[in-house]
Amino acid sequence: MSEATLLISSKNYSSWSLRGFLLAKLSGIDFVAESVALDDPRAHEELLMRTSSILVPCLLHGEVTVWDTLAIAEYLNEAFPKAQMLPKEVSARARCRSISGEMHSGFAALRSSLPMNLRFRKPGFTVWSSAQADIDRITTIWRECLHTWKGPFLFGKEPTIADAMYAPVVTRFISYDVAVGALCQDYCTTIMEWQPMQEWVADALEEPQEIIELDLDF
C-alpha cells in the first residue's frame, strides 16, 4: 500500500495537478495519484479557472490533508528534508521561494489566454499583449536563474520546487508555439525530458476525457 494519495483532476488540462504530482515526485514520497471525476464541481471549476479556492490537487498523508500547491510543497519539504526540494544556498532558497510564489499568484493573462492542453498544438498562435507581458516576465526569471545557477534546471543540476511550479508553463509555450530564445528553449527541453514529466505527459495523451470549453480551436 502506498504511503500517500494525491488527488488530481485531468492530466491533460490541469496545471495545478501537474505541479502537485511533480512536487510529490521531487520529495520521494511513496504515493498513488487518484483522479477526481471531471463532473466533480471542484475539478471542473478548477480546470476552467472559475474558483479562487483550489482544492485539487490534495495530498493525503497519514492524518495530514494538505491542498494548494505551495502548501503541498512546503509540507513535503519539511517532511522529507533529505530530498532537498529547495536549494542549499540561502540566497538561492530565497529566490526559489520568491519565483514559486510569483508563479502561484500571478500571470493571470497567461493562464486565461493560453490554457494548458497537452494534446493541443497551434503553430503561429497570436499572443495578446497582456499574455506577452507575462511571457516576458517568465522568461526573464528563467534567464536570470539559468545565468546565475548555470542550469540545466533553474537552480543548478537538480530540479527544485520552482521547476515543478513552472513546468506547466513549458507545456503552454509548446502548445501555443511561443518563441522564447535559445537559453529558455534549452530549459524547456530539460523540463520535457525530466522523467516525471514524461510519465505525466504519456498518461495525459491517453486520457479519454475532453472538456469542450478547453478544446476550442483558438
Domain extent listing, the chain = 4-83, 90-200
Cell output for 117: 492542453
Angstrom distance (rounded) from CA 114 to CA 175 = 8
Q: What are phi and psi of 90, to 5 degrees?
A: -60, -50
Which CATH code fits 90-200? 1.20.1050.10
Beta bridge partners of 34: 7
**SS3 (DSSP) at 10:** coil
Angstrom distance (rounded) from CA 125 to CA 113 = 11
For domain 4-83, the CATH class is alpha beta
Contact 175, 117 (CB under 8 A): yes
Angstrom distance (rounded) from CA 184 to CA 165 = 16
Distance of CA 16 to the CA centre of its chain: 6
Per-residue pLDDT of the chain (218 residues; tens, 9 = 90+): 789 999 998 999 999 999 999 999 999 999 999 998 766 655 555 555 544 446 889 999 999 999 999 999 999 999 999 999 999 999 999 999 999 999 999 999 999 999 999 999 999 999 999 999 999 999 999 999 999 999 999 999 999 999 999 999 999 999 999 999 999 999 999 999 999 999 999 999 998 766 555 555 44
Q: Which of 45, 43, 8 is nearest to 23 (CA)?
A: 8
Q: What are phi and psi of 60, to 5 degrees?
A: -110, 115
Distance of CA 80 to the CA centre of its chain: 20
Angstrom distance (rounded) from CA 180 to CA 54 = 29
Q: What is the pTM of this model?
A: 0.91
